[in-house]
Amino acid sequence: MRFSEFLVRTLPKAGGVLFLSAAAAVAAYPQDKPVYLDGTKPIEERVEDALGRMTLEEKIKVIHAQSKFSSRGVPRLGIPEVWTTDGPHGIRSEVYWDEWNQAGWTNDSCVAFPALTCLAATWNTELAHLYGKSIGEEATFRGKDMLLGPGVNIYRSPLNGRNFEYMGEDPYLAGRMVVPYVQGVQENGVAACVKHYALNNHEINRHRTNVIVDDRTLYEIYLPAFKAAVQEGGAWAIMGSYNLYRDQHCCHNSYLLNDILKGEWGYDGVVVSDWGGTHDTDQAIRNGLDMEFGTGTDGLRSGARNAYDSYHMAFPYLEKIRKGEVGTEELDDKVRRVLRLMFRTSMNGDRGFGSFCSEEHYAAARAIGDEGIVLLKNEGNILPVDFGSVEKILVVGENAVKMMTVGGGSSSLKVEREISPLDGIRERAGSDVEVVYARGYIGDVTGEYNGVTSGQDLADTRSADELIAEAVAQAKDADYVIFIGGLNKSKHQDCEDSDRKGLGLPYDQDRVIEALAAVNDRLVVVNISGNAVAMPWIEEVPAVLQAWFIGSEAGHSIADVLSGDVNPSGKLPFTFPARLEDCPAHLLGEYCGEPVKDTVDIEYKEGIFVGYRWTDRQKKTKPLFAFGHGLSYTEFEYGKPTTDSSTMTSDGHVTVSVDITNAGQRAGKEIVQLYIADRKSSLPRPVKELKGFEKILLQPGETKTVTFTIDVDDLSFFDPEKHEWVAEPGRFDAIVAAAADDVRGSVSFELK
């Protein structure tokens, strides 16, 4: 695509700013075609050429917002704006230039892809790439240059309202899943903006939490997924988090941004502030921030100056340069990074046109949902449902009908369609099966966020007793009862800027489930949430599915798994604790669940022992469901693991192989997990750590060999005294497992 064609496509989003045509930009200079306009030249040459042509004022303008979601280009040089959009589960609807209010477009209803917890639960890196590629195509079609996602913050507490946007508790799993997602997005010429860097592990007091964590924990638990996104995924953008670390806000945190991200990792992309995450001009200048968005001066106001010029990195920065208080070295580095971003995205002549709300994207969303649903329990093999042999199915629960794409914070979406679980079940059951619905409980009857409404009227004046009585009466003669409940995306559930109040289900759902279990022994509970929930009724319910927020194709995916059209293959990306006190963040008291006015220190006293790393050490307490747990409608048999060598040198590797056989009657996918255990270490280490996984498809009776390659990085821990990764000589165990609590075999070797 020629650059002039690109400018024509870009003009409608310019917000009234007139860009020069390519011809005009060239004509402005008597010499040959400017290097920055020549897409055949290396990006670094184009960056330096464009930088040298920019005025001081133009440099300042490209590093801060000019609207809610865009930053200014350089009209004089024909360099377009940068347009961002919220993700990471779909392309957010359009708002006015200076307001959060809806712009009222009729062509901005997107495909909602499953939440990232669901993607992580697939343990399928190919699906992660498909996800990124598909959402990147939607962003390209809508004229967006940067997708504000994905999120890879570690699941530290099940109360975190934003866990549904992240990829679980294990840094290795999150790292393996984020890399192909980023690559898929950026294949479209759209930057993936990986967030929230770093240590954003709960929402309450998110602007006032100062995290206290040791370097070993930082490097081993909370940074690896970001590092993988940068060094392996090649992420072009990183978003800072709201919280503080070492008494500096993370959007301008010298240690995180200058020392680690840009120093140790060699990051060449931009650091973007979260909206409202910039607080100090001097720190913003010196501590690694490149693009400032959403500072509290949004909106145009009367007066001598545009309100966006009041941002920390706008007029205040310009004045400091003019007065000689700061130099331009930091500014030029920021502008280089922004220009590099532009040449990769908005000035990328090879960028296609993308596609929007295509059947391919709906198919991708459904495939991810199908593989992300986790079968937690299936006592008596009551699942799958044989729709050809049943007459009546009762579906109970508000979440069977409530739209889940609206709400939850900045990931809220305006969708073209959303298939409800009830509709999906009815569609799959067909006309020969009576599918009856009973409300069961009343939760959140609203359906609005930021001007987008679901259009549903869920108001109900009946009492809780009346609702339960109706459900129980219908359940008595039903062949199956399917309760679809869990959390939703309202405040204090799975929602940005608030945390849950406790581990239990809201709206007295436990009472409904227990009443149904008392009258029907073919009860299936489908829990829709992005978080673990307590299940005091677990012994009374024979089958439980974890279904996540699946997006546009939610009902189809749930019906696919209930019916057995799809054999469940998802596994948990985080631990389901039996009690909140079983989580070290709460057991050790370093979690603040109430709003505070001043900055509060939160020490991560559990250190590296997060999730299964903690539960593995406990002798008296067991999780409700372990990390990596997930059942199937078939059975998989594991052979004895073998290794190609009993010794390994520091510059070599060993391979571990294991045969997996489908011993059942259905085709199915199994996720084989590899953990490493260090028998003796100078520093405390977890009982085992995930260092590999592979998802394989097996036909009935088929056997496949899964092989893992282990190198020195897989054996290493971070030594805070040396400030480096260390692998100590000694004996290690390679543990093959179906879940963190389901070890199938091990083999040992020695690091020489």
Return d(Cα 335, Cα 57) in angstroms, integer. Answer: 12
Identity of the residue numbered 273: S
Place of tokens 């971003």: 341
Active site residue 457: no
Residue 703, beta-bridge partner list: 661
Return d(Cα 636, Cα 660) in angstroms, integer. Answer: 7
Residue 602, beta-bridge partner list: 211
DSSP class of residue 398? G
Q: How many helices (H) and strands (E) does the chain have?
A: 19, 29
274, 290, 298, 499: which is the annotated catalytic residue? 274
Listed in sequence order, the residues at least 6 apart from 444 whose beta carbon sits closer than 8 Å to its beta carbon are 398, 402, 458, 488, 490, 493
Dihedral sign computed on CA atoms, order 116, 83, 146, 346? positive
Contact 592, 602 (CB under 8 A): yes
Return d(Cα 397, Cα 484) in angstroms, integer. Answer: 5
DSSP class of residue 140? H
Return d(Cα 580, Cα 575) in angstroms, integer. Answer: 11
Return d(Cα 7, Cα 39) in angstroms, integer. Answer: 14
Contact 500, 159 (CB under 8 A): yes
Quickly list DSSP for 322-388: HTTSS-SHHHHHHHHHHHHHHHHTTT-TT-----SS-HHHHHHHHHHHHHH-EEEEEGGG--S--GG
DSSP class of residue 20? P
Listed in sequence order, the residues at least 6 apart from 669 whose beta carbon sits closer than 8 Å to its beta carbon are 371, 567, 569, 632, 695, 696, 697, 698
Instruction: Say how many CA atoms lie within 13 Å of 188 toward its Cβ.
Output: 29
Contact 378, 543 (CB under 8 A): yes
Instruction: Say how many CA atoms lie within 13 Å of 579 toward its Cβ.
Output: 6
3-state DSSP call for residue 114? coil
Return d(Cα 4, Cα 7) in angstroms, integer. Answer: 5
Residue 205 structure tokens? 């007091």
Which residues are marked as active site?
274
